[in-house]
Structure 1
Amino acid sequence: MFRSLLGVALLAVTVFSQGEKDLITDLPGLLFKANFKSYSGYIDANAGGTWRMHYMLTESRSNPDTDPLLVWFNGGPGCSSLGGLFEELGPFYVNFDGKTLYENPYAWNAKANVLYLESPIGVGYSYDTQTPQYFKADDDQSAAQNLQALTNFFNVTQPKYANRTFYLSGESYAGIYIPMLTDLIVKGINDGSFPNKNFQGSAIGNGFMNVRGLLNALTLWSAYHGRASMQDWDTIKQTCAKGADVDSFDFSQYTVSTNNIDYVGDNSSCGKLIQPLISQNANNDEGFDQYNFYQECYDKSVFQAPPPPASGKRSKRSALKGVSSVQKNFQYQKLGSFQGTANLSPNTATLVNRFSNDNQFGYFCWNEDAVATYLNSDNVQNALHIPQEWKNQNNTWADCRMSIYNNYTLKYDTTNEFFNRTISNLKTDFRFLIYNGDVDTVCNYLGDAKHIRQVAADNNLQTGPRTPWYYSDNKQLAGYVQTYSGKNANGANIIIDLLTVKGAGHMVPYDRAGPSVQMISNFVWANKSSQINYSDNSNFDPNIQLSDLVGSFSSTISFLSAIFIVLINIIF
């Protein structure tokens, strides 16, 4: 009896130590008192342990011991999920100085434990122990790495989550990662090789799920968002479509690509006509942000490098790259040298505008550089348990690793087979959430809606009405939602929610922060087999109380009071 109890005790200590060794005990520059734990460490992404995938985990602010796990992937391919953590949905935003962290009141860990995986190997802090600056990746390899890493996360890294309800989520090229991984996990659950059977759903934001479908839809989206005159559009319809239904016409036949990701018009007359509509950077004079058609960074000499040429290549923002030190130190009226928001208030979080959909003092325009400065600090890397082995390879953390992107050849230009196989193989109820910011040109809502309509038709799912959904008690229109539902041959209930987020671009959790966290909280807390009311705010309270600052004494000061104090200081 004594030996049995001792064995149980030793096992408990072992499990505890494996998870807790990755606990972040002192995150540099943290300006607020976090009421949740964060972890950072590594997971083996292959059998030999030579592929080391970095993860961060921010536990729930609510009930971390029982709340579900939400796994997050950024896309690219080659972009780090820590970009999602520090620039979009995570609890930490980086100040302009690149040294301090302020609170994101709309973090997705409101009622979920959020796991960020830096995938594939070579992205962010993830690395190959045998090949410095490893950059080889493709769709099948990425899927295998993600499956192995998630398997080891549940088995070895954080076994306390092994029986927890979990969901996959991500954006952009994760529109390929997630359907492939979903398919593999369902297969692993069915054959007993995957350790956690409580897989209940996958959420994809602005997904790159059907390349040619997105391309064709972007032609329509651009034409009806003022990028073509009526005369030019008539010429395109007459010359290219030749009287065919333009809504279903295949414009992609007039395009070419070297990597099956980035397309440009070919040398045909139609290819030249549609090129200005399918390019996110059609010419140097147009100059919109491809990730949000209506987003501006007003002082381009400071916030943005010049737009790239009309190559058809999707580019990641780079706020201050190539800008001279003189330009960086420009003067704002009455505010002196621009230092982000640090010279307005000791607590940047009090300045976040939660009365309207205005963004946070241009955070979108400069956050990538601030995050890169922060994550390349030696103190930060030590706190995140980044090993000397990674540093010895002369690696640097980057929001997106261009060597991976430039050498990546997409294999699956549509994900229908993965959706269809998943839906047919499911033995328990499952739901998908396909959400889109409706002003994104990289992965537009129209192309994704057409793709999901085909998936629903392939699987005999019934179509529901398209209805508005609302944010908070004020009933602000947040977008529209349509539900496809039905049973598969195994009797499992399948639900696909197709949802738009009004006014959001590619980075929905940043552009419409409040609606996004209400959306995802309702998704992970929905009753199985029931239709979700995305307007419900019982899973997220928009009346947010900010955390105490480090060294402060009161946790009761409300957002309204904080804003009032800041306004008084500015005025006087």
Structure 2
Amino acid sequence: MIPLLLLLLVSFTSCGAQNAAADEITNLPGVTFNTNFKQYSGYLNANPQGTWKLHYWLVESQGNAATDPLILWLNGGPGCSSVGGMFEELGPFYPERDGNSLYENVFSWNKVANVLFLESPIGVGFSYDTSNASNVMTDDDTVANQNYLALIDFFTNVQPAYANRTFYITGESYAGIYLPTLAQLLVQGINNGSFPYKNFQGMAIGNGYMNVKYLTNSLVLWSNYHGLIALEDWERIKMFCCNNQDVDKCNFYSHLNTSDNLNFVSDGSVCGNYVYQTLTDQSPPWPQNQDPYNFYQDCYAPLPTTSTSSPMINFIKSHPNIAATSPHGTASILWYDSTDSQRGFSCWNGGATYHYLNTQLVQAALHINSSWQNTVKTWHGCNGPIYGSYKVKYSDTTSLFQYIINNVKIPNFRILVYNGDVDTICNYLGDSWHIRDLASSSNMKSQPRTPWTFRNQIAGYVQRYTGQSSLTIDVLTVKGAGHFVPNDRPGPALQMIANFIGNIANYSTATGIDVTPQGPPPITGTTPSTTMTTTTTTITTTTVTTGAGAASSSFLLVAISAVLLKKLF
């Protein structure tokens, strides 16, 4: 692989330098607050021929853009958009329910870093193959090479001001494979000189798809201990799957069959049938309206049509004591159609994002290529054909991590594996088992598992592994979060990532971030639209759709058919 990458680099860097100013977004439609940061949108070359175009969106830091580190963010799928993650999780803009305007995410990760959202692989979002717009065939190694070459183009030609910046790679779900494969190439390229940007400092993986066997086994246990399995069925599972031995060590995964390491079925045994039934939506225990991404999320339908930024909401935000002075103050802002704190945002944000990004004025502001508009035509949060034809190579990423640990020469290199603890897609327990075994095989020592806090409340738990070098691996849970941690627990997620990139071992530290942000005032004379363009949201364990026809909160699918993941197309 090394000679090939050297050849690609020589061919690739001969391209003419681009002007970053040409990619600057100067007038993003629908923004309802004053921004204090620059942002850029354009294309990065992902092959030497320049026919594979990966769309990027860079939002500069609201802190010190000139010195703050760079964070690359990748959503998973395989086949889902990181720009979807930007609008629905950790970016500075959240769409209103009508999809016509944007309000501020006050816990955006660009509060502490420059964040690069890369739509990967080819065929996702605004990314495409100029020679074959229907190109969707890809695999783990191809995606890694695309991302690697796109980063070279970013640092060399498109945004050379970032060439010497400390940078991290982050993402979630199937990015549990995207990131280690990319990190392996980066470590390899830095060591042999083919990747000239040496300030790669670490990676953070959220709810990662890293070990299919462990995810399967842990989800059976999690399902039982969260009340999804009848006592009688649990006794039968222990009998037929574990021979009444230690259930924590039972290999449920061995009773499933697969041809592609994405879709799994029962092997026909009694145990396989029980496991399939337990983890699938084809029969109980999964009810039709159970959200697999967040066990405690509710999305009642139909949703009210009130805007989340109505004049009353803005007024109450600016008058925090309104509840004490008016008997109707608190009642006027209660949200009865969802149990989350964001007024049902995760129930409808996918449709709103779909509507916004398919607006011609928005695509013009983002410098979307006319050839994409003429061939692909429509932005989608996830690309179903990519998922359907995807080739999985690394159902167990241990060897990738071992390569990184054994070969990285960067001082204080660090890895963070974080999980929302109520996600039933990529379970915290399976990821914890994976890292435990990895640390053991690498002769790393474990420190005690301790709680961490946000605003003096328990935000989760964390355990650190250390090796003979300065490399560390932190395994962290975020209390009450599901698959989309920055959306479900935005404040704790921002504090977590700030401490990670700041090399602060104590994740309870709030230095450098505002844990009680108020947000900026609206732009003078601007009133957010309250007209609904998506009127209903229907959620089942197999399908999440909106009136706009897009998947809601589905931009990172890892699917184990009806087993590990309830597919959202």
TM-score, normalized by length of structure 2? 0.83
Coordinate RMSD, CA, aligned: 2.2
1:486 is matched with: 467
Superposed displacement of residue 239, structure 1: 1.5
1:432 is matched with: 415
Task: Give a deviation string over 1:495-528, Cα, whole Å, max 9, x none.
Answer: 000000000000000000100000001101116x
Superposed displacement of residue 213, structure 1: 1.1
Task: Give a deviation string over 1:272-315, Cα, whole Å, max 9, x none.
Answer: 1122322266557353101001111022xx36xxxxxxxxxxxx
Q: Which amino acid aligns with 1:185?
A: L
Q: Which amino acid aligns with 1:144?
A: N
Task: Give a deviation string over 1:115-173, Cα, whole Å, max 9, x none.
Answer: 00000000000000000232111111101101000111111111111100000100000
2:502 is matched with: 525
Superposed displacement of residue 343, structure 1: 4.2
Q: How many residues align?
A: 493
Which deviates further from its counterpart, 192-201 or 538-547? 538-547
Superposed displacement of residue 340, structure 1: 3.8
Task: Give a deviation string over 1:82-133, Cα, whole Å, max 9, x none.
Answer: 1110000000000111110000011001110000000000000000000023
Match of 1:442 among 406, 414, 425: 425
Match of 1:477 among 447, 458, 462: 458
Cα 1:193–1:282 change in 2 (3 A) is farther
Superposed displacement of residue 361, structure 1: 1.2
Percent identical pairs in the alignment equals 51
Q: Distance in 2 between matches of 1:537 and 1:439?
A: 24
Q: Is the 8 A contact 1:256 1:263 kept in 2?
A: yes
**Where do 5+ consecutive residues of structure 1 fail to align?**
1-13, 304-331, 333-337, 554-572
1:34-433 mapped onto 2 (5 Å cutoff): 34-279=35-280, 282-283=283-284, 285-299=287-301, 302=302, 332=304, 338-343=305-310, 345=312, 350=317, 358-429=340-411, 430-433=413-416
> 1:500 is paired with a residue of what secondary structure?
strand
Q: Is the 8 A contact 1:97 1:339 kept in 2?
A: no
Match of 1:499 among 471, 476, 486: 476
Q: Distance in 2 between matches of 1:550 and 1:385?
A: 24
Q: Is the 8 A contact 2:281 2:287 kept in 1?
A: no
Q: Distance in 2 between matches of 1:360 and 1:234?
A: 40
1:461 is matched with: 444
Superposed displacement of residue 345, structure 1: 4.5
2:567 is matched with: none
Match of 2:509 among 536, 546, 549: 536
Q: Is the 8 A contact 1:349 1:546 kept in 2?
A: no
> 2:378 is paired with a residue of what secondary structure?
coil
| 1:513 equivalent in alignment to 2:490 | yes
Superposed displacement of residue 24, structure 1: 0.2
Q: Distance in 2 between matches of 1:203 and 1:141?
A: 21
> 2:494 is paired with a residue of what secondary structure?
helix
Q: Distance in 2 between matches of 1:273 and 1:436?
A: 26
Superposed displacement of residue 347, structure 1: 5.0
Runs ≥4 residues deviating over 3 A: 280-286, 342-353
Superposed displacement of residue 349, structure 1: 11
1:310 is matched with: none
Cα 1:362–1:99 change in 2 (3 A) is same
Q: Is the 8 A contact 1:50 1:130 kept in 2?
A: yes
Q: Distance in 2 between matches of 1:79 and 1:134?
A: 15
Higher relative contact order (CA 8 A, sep 6+): 2
Task: Give a deviation string over 1:367-388, Cα, whole Å, max 9, x none.
Answer: 1011000000111000000011
Q: Is the 8 A contact 2:297 2:340 kept in 1?
A: no
Superposed displacement of residue 195, structure 1: 2.2
Task: Give a deviation string over 1:32-69, Cα, whole Å, max 9, x none.
Answer: 00011111000000011000000001110000000000
**Where do 5+ consecutive residues of structure 2 fail to align?**
1-15, 319-332, 527-569
> 2:462 is paired with a residue of what secondary structure?
strand
Q: Which amino acid aligns with 1:442?
A: I
Q: Is the 8 A contact 2:281 2:288 kept in 1?
A: no
Superposed displacement of residue 545, structure 1: 3.4
Q: Distance in 2 between matches of 1:298 and 1:257?
A: 35
> 1:207 is paired with a residue of what secondary structure?
coil
Which deviates further from its counterpart, 193-202 or 116-125? 193-202
Superposed displacement of residue 254, structure 1: 1.1
Q: Distance in 1 between matches of 2:514 and 2:36?
A: 17
Q: Is the 8 A contact 1:189 1:195 kept in 2?
A: yes
Q: Is the 8 A contact 1:38 1:59 kept in 2?
A: yes
Q: Distance in 1 between matches of 2:289 and 2:269?
A: 25
1:547-562 mapped onto 2 (5 Å cutoff): 547-551=520-524
Q: Distance in 2 between matches of 1:454 and 1:58?
A: 37
Cα 1:281–1:437 change in 2 (3 A) is farther
Q: Distance in 2 between matches of 1:526 and 1:212?
A: 32
Q: Is the 8 A contact 1:340 1:361 kept in 2?
A: no
Q: Distance in 1 between matches of 2:122 and 2:511?
A: 39
Q: Which amino acid aligns with 1:505?
A: G
Q: Is the 8 A contact 1:44 1:50 kept in 2?
A: yes
> 2:449 is paired with a residue of what secondary structure?
strand
Cα 1:195–1:202 change in 2 (3 A) is same
TM-score, normalized by length of structure 1? 0.83
Q: Is the 8 A contact 1:93 1:102 kept in 2?
A: yes
